[in-house]
Homo-oligomer: A and B are copies of this chain.
Amino acid sequence: MDNRVTKLFNIKYPIIQAGMIWCSGWELAAAVTNAGGLGVIGSGSMYPDVLREHIQKCKKATNNGIFAVNIPMLYPDIDKHMEVIVSEGVKVVFTSAGNPKTWTSFLKEKGIIVVHVIANAKFAQKAEEAGVDAIVAEGFEAGGHNGREETTTFCLIPIIKKAVKIPVIAAGGIATGRAMLASMALGAEGVQIGSRFVASEESSANINFKNAVIKSNEGDTKLTLKQLTPVRLLKNKFFDDVQNAENNSASVDELSKLLGRGRAKKGMFEGDLIEGELEIGQVAAIIKEIKSAKDIIDEIITEYKQAKAELIKGF
């Protein structure tokens, strides 16, 4: 069982763990890689020295050294992060939240595989032109930062498949083997999974946040802060404060001030479920247990195979 995504990364299963601030350090990335997927260190919440330490530990902890680092391009210390990535010999980089032309040729010249995360066809084409190796297409249901078009995974994957020739990895709403199968049916060649891995044993999310995720239900997340950068959050007091401010026609400055600094750390890493920012996807509603990354991947693959067999027999 091989396709362009398994071959690109030299992995067993086309399952990529999303690089997530405060949740995906070396423990999670190494566990996913060792279970046959592609582990990704989320550098967006790390100082350059911290990133270096995570990369070094991940190299030691993985059987094959195949893991990636995610770089959200809106972070200020990006050139230092790039220096760390190159000097540590990282093989795969996922870039997001920015112009794919800025760093792709720099990374490709160093022999690094580059994947760019997008939410519309315009940026997918821009990324392909910039020379990236694959695209992550992330739908409206995904946790964290999100596209302004609000295009859902169901509608986005076919649009992106039509727009580019390079492999498309589906993201947003995927936590099970059936959802992986649905992504492949839509034309994706792999899946990027975030929320399911937040509630893993190896995730560095605070246990309070993990517990909040597995207790959440449908309607408990919502895309908010649309005047700044749209972000999908688990509803809590901070979310309500934002809604109230928006209902009272708060300005962009007032919203930025309300958000302040360190909200995401406070919520996801320190476990403050009241004042913290809790980034998670809609699919949290069907995640009911904290499990090891290996169990998560094994269950997804088992369900994928079962669902595929059922689909073959069905209509």
Q: Which residues does A use to contact B, with CB under 8 Å?
A: 1-3, 6, 14, 120-121, 139-141, 148-156, 158-159, 162, 172-174, 176, 178-179, 181-187, 189, 218-219, 222-223, 247-249, 282-283, 285-286, 307-308, 311-312, 314-315
Q: When the two chains form their complex, are residues A152 and B149 in contact, meaning their CB atoms are under 8 A apart?
A: no
**24 pairs from A and B in contact (CB 8 Å cutoff):** A14-B315, A120-B218, A120-B219, A140-B141, A141-B155, A150-B282, A151-B218, A151-B282, A152-B152, A152-B173, A155-B283, A159-B218, A159-B286, A162-B286, A178-B185, A178-B186, A178-B187, A182-B185, A182-B186, A184-B314, A247-B249, A248-B249, A308-B312, A311-B311
CB-CB < 8 A to A1: which residues of B?
Answer: 315
Q: When the two chains form their complex, are residues A154 and B173 in contact, meaning their CB atoms are under 8 A apart?
A: yes
Q: When the two chains form their complex, are residues A155 and B282 in contact, meaning their CB atoms are under 8 A apart?
A: yes
**CB of A119, distance to nearest CB on chain B (Å):** 9
**CB of A37, distance to nearest CB on chain B (Å):** 13
Q: Which of A149, A172, A249, A286 counts the most chain B CB atoms within 10 A?
A: A149
With A148-B219, A155-B286, A218-B120 already in contact, the answer to whether A311 and B314 are too (CB < 8 A) is: no
**CB of A252, distance to nearest CB on chain B (Å):** 13
In the A-B complex, the 10 residue pairs with the closest CB atoms: A154-B173, A149-B219, A182-B182, A181-B185, A182-B185, A152-B152, A155-B282, A141-B152, A3-B315, A153-B154
Kindly state the separation between the CA atoms of A248 and B248 in the bound complex, as whole angstroms: 9
With A183-B182, A315-B14 already in contact, the answer to whether A285 and B159 are too (CB < 8 A) is: yes
Q: Other CB < 8 Å A-B pairs besides A311-B311, A312-B312, 13 of them? A: A14-B315, A139-B152, A140-B140, A140-B141, A150-B282, A151-B218, A155-B282, A155-B285, A159-B285, A159-B286, A178-B186, A182-B182, A248-B249
Q: Which one of B139, B158, B172 lies within 8 Å of A176 (CB-CB)?
A: B158
Count of this chain's copies in the oligomeric assembly: 2
Kindly state the separation between the CA atoms of A173 and B308 in the bound complex, as whole angstroms: 22
CB-CB < 8 A to A222: which residues of B?
Answer: 150
Kindly state the separation between the CA atoms of A187 and B172 in the bound complex, as whole angstroms: 18
Kindly state the separation between the CA atoms of A182 and B152 in the bound complex, as whole angstroms: 14
Q: When the two chains form their complex, are residues A282 and B219 in contact, meaning their CB atoms are under 8 A apart?
A: no
Kindly state the separation between the CA atoms of A155 and B287 in the bound complex, as whole angstroms: 11
Kindly state the separation between the CA atoms of A3 and B140 in the bound complex, as whole angstroms: 31
> A188: nearest residue on chain B (CB-CB)?
B182
Q: When the two chains form their complex, are residues A307 and B174 in contact, meaning their CB atoms are under 8 A apart?
A: no
**CB of A78, distance to nearest CB on chain B (Å):** 27
**CB of A135, distance to nearest CB on chain B (Å):** 15
Kindly state the separation between the CA atoms of A308 and B181 in the bound complex, as whole angstroms: 11
CB-CB < 8 A to A249: which residues of B?
Answer: 247-249
With A178-B187, A183-B182 already in contact, the answer to whether A2 and B152 are too (CB < 8 A) is: no
Q: Which one of B158, B172, B311 lies within 8 Å of A179 (CB-CB)?
A: B158
Kindly state the separation between the CA atoms of A141 and B186 in the bound complex, as whole angstroms: 16
